[in-house]
Structure 1
Amino acid sequence: MKRFFATAVKTIKWGIIGVLCLEALSFAVITTTNWVIYGNLREGPKAVYDPYALFLMGNGVWPTANIAVAEGYPELSKVLWFFGGSTMRASAAPYAHSIPSLVAKALNETGKPYAFNCFNFGVNSFNSLLESKYLEKQFIEFPIRPNLVVFYDGANDANYFAVQKTPYAHEGRERVQGVIESYYKSGYGILKPLNAAYFASFTRELLQKLLYTAKPVDPDSPELATFVELTVKRYDFINRLCAAEGAAFLLALQPLYWVETCPGLDAGVGQKEKDAILGRKTFPHVRENFMTVYAALERGLAGKPYFVNLRDALCGRNAPAYTADGVHNTDAGREAITAALLPAIRARLALKPEHDDGGPQ
């Protein structure tokens, strides 16, 4: 009996040590990957709790350069709200290089007599689900009302669905759901700190990411069909909400390295991006998963009056447009995206293309 208990204690001890070592190894892999891709041990800057949107950036709304206001002439002031993830926020670059700043610059250079004020409400890791809640918060609380609301989406929606396989996928979903539900859902849920640690585990996160890169998304799965259906319903609701608030709505499906179909891409640019982008050969299903979800979203959104497809908007580039993850953009990439987005923005604002001295059409 004594030998049995000694063996049991030893087994438990080494089991705990093994779990801790696995967690430490997973921590090392994830933080090293974050450092290589983002130049930071953490994925994105500090986030803080928000009762509407679940979380927001700790450093607040990202500034926008090149804005203007028509003092004393409110009818000539045009306000644009921009929502999206880290590709919209662009907090790793000077704020003057973000898409909202570049849009403001272009509109204020060519849009007289109007003055354009752009707000960058991009939040790292946000997808359409969290953005829709953030939009509601801003309509309730933000004092400056918009003439146009722009959503710039695709990457995070596709990525979170491919990893989590649920139409309600978003950053931190399982961690939050685990804290709320599992107190009663599982036997060890009564140990709240232990249960929270399980859902926040680096090992669990690493396993999910490895499965994502190793397993393709089924294009005929009912989960994907439901994801597209609910995502389109979400955008339809946002369109109605904006209209009720007196604003136009524009949804742009963003370009990604992983989903482009650019047979005529400049060979030199293509080679530089191949050399720089990580996981292109190691994780072949990354491209396949993005392509599958993007194709489904394109079909679901086709014909929507608020939708503009920028999937291949960077095919004519003459300089690398993507950073190492194939999602985030270089300065040249954001400039090209802005140029592709401007015609749709002008159309929603009823502005003459590139006009200098006229009013609305």
Structure 2
Amino acid sequence: MKRFFSLAARTIKWIFFTVVAVEVLSFAVITTSNWIIYGSLREGPKAVYDPYTLFLMENGIWPTANCEVINFHPELSRTIWFFGGSTMRASSAPYERSIPSLVAKALNERDKPCAFNCLNFGVNSFNSLLEIKYLQKQFLEFIIKPNLVVFYDGANDANYFAVQKDPYAHEGKERAQGVIESYYKSGIGLLKPVNAAYFASFTRELLQKFLYTATPLDPDSPELAAFVAQAVARYDFAERLSACYDAKFLLFLQPVYWVETSKDVNATVAASEQQTILGRKTFPHVRDNFNIVYAALEKALAGKPYFVNLRNALCDRTAPAYTADGVHNTDAGREGIVAAMLPHIRDRLPCNVPTVTGGQP
């Protein structure tokens, strides 16, 4: 009996050390890949809890440059709310180079006498699910109401579903769900911190990402169909909600290196991006899985009056438009995106000058 307990103790000890070693190794792989791709050990800046949206950026709403407001003629003022993920927020670049800042600059330079105030509500890792809740929060709480609401989506929705394969996929879903449901989810839930730690572990995250890279996604799966249907319903709701406040709504499907179908990219630019963008020949299922979700969203949204497809909007670029992950943009990339957006924004917000009597000109 003594020998049995000694063996059991040694077995438990080695299992414990093995689990710790695997977790440390997974931590090293995850943080190293974050450093290579994002230049930081963590994926994105610090997030804080928000009761409406689950999380927001610690440093709040990202500033927008080049905005103008006409107080004495409010009928000439136009306010645009921009929502999206990190490609919209662009917090790794000077805020003057974000999409909302560049849109404000272009509109206020040309579309006189109207004045345009662009607000950047982009949040790192947000997709349509979290953005729709953020939109509701801002309509409830934000003082300055919009004339136009812009969503800029595609990459995060495609990525999170491809990894999680859940119609409600979004950043942090399983970690948050693990904490909330941990007590009753299983027998181990009696030890709530242990159960929550399982869902937050680097080993689980690494395994999930490995399965994403190694497993092809079924384009006819009911989970994907449900995810796409829910995404479309969110955008339909965003249009109706915006209309309740006399605002227009636009959804831009963002350009991404991995989904471009045009062959017109400048040869020198294409060669440069091939040197810069990581994983072009590694893990083929990653690109295929991403494309399957992106294409399903594109097809389901086609024909919606608020939908603008920018899939190939950067294919005529004369300078590299993407950073190492093939999703985030260079300054040249954001300038190209803004150029593609502007005609649609101007169409929804024409500067029709009203007849003004009295007051200041």
| TM-score, scaled to structure 2 | 0.97
How far is 1:71 from its partner? 2.3
Q: Secondary structure at the match of 1:182?
A: helix
Structure 1 residue runs of 4 or more that deviate by more than 2 Å after TM superposition? none
Q: Which residue of 1 aligns with 2:85?
A: 85
CA distance in 2, matches of 1:80, 1:277: 32
Map 1:173-322; keep pairs closer than 5 Å. Answer: 173-322=173-322
CA distance in 2, matches of 1:247, 1:126: 22
Q: Which residue of 2 aligns with 1:134?
A: 134
CA distance in 2, matches of 1:215, 1:267: 32
Q: Which residue of 2 aligns with 1:354?
A: none
CA distance in 1, matches of 2:143, 2:39: 35
Offset from partner CA, 1:151-201 (integer Å, 9 cap, x none) = 000000000000000110000000111111131120010111111110100
How far is 1:284 from its partner? 1.1
* Unmatched 5+ stretches in structure 1: 352-357
| TM-score, scaled to structure 1 | 0.97
CA distance in 1, matches of 2:235, 2:71: 33
* Unmatched 5+ stretches in structure 2: 355-361
Which letter does structure 2 place at the counterpart of 1:359?
Answer: V
Q: Percent identity at matched positions?
A: 74
Q: Secondary structure at the match of 2:259?
A: coil
How far is 1:96 from its partner? 0.3
Q: Which residue of 2 aligns with 1:122?
A: 122
Q: Which residue of 2 aligns with 1:43?
A: 43
Which letter does structure 2 place at the counterpart of 1:171?
Answer: E
Q: Which residue of 2 aligns with 1:144?
A: 144
How far is 1:294 from its partner? 1.4
Match of 1:359 among 338, 353, 358: 353
Q: Secondary structure at the match of 1:101?
A: helix
Does the Cα contact within 8 Å between 1:189 and 1:195 map onto a contact in 2?
Answer: yes
How far is 1:79 from its partner? 0.2
Does the Cα contact within 8 Å between 1:251 and 1:308 map onto a contact in 2?
Answer: yes
How far is 1:236 from its partner? 0.4
CA distance in 1, matches of 2:310, 2:243: 23
Q: Secondary structure at the match of 2:44?
A: coil
Q: Which residue of 1 aligns with 2:359?
A: none
How far is 1:214 from its partner? 1.3
Q: Secondary structure at the match of 1:31?
A: helix
CA distance in 2, matches of 1:216, 1:343: 38
How far is 1:82 from its partner? 0.2
How far is 1:350 from its partner? 3.0
Q: Secondary structure at the match of 2:79?
A: strand
Q: Which residue of 1 aligns with 2:358?
A: none
Does the Cα contact within 8 Å between 1:258 and 1:286 map onto a contact in 2?
Answer: no
Aligned length: 354
CA distance in 2, matches of 1:217, 1:268: 33
Q: Which residue of 2 aligns with 1:55?
A: 55
Offset from partner CA, 1:261-320 (integer Å, 9 cap, x none) = 121211111111111111111121121112111111111101100000001000000110
How far is 1:46 from its partner? 0.6
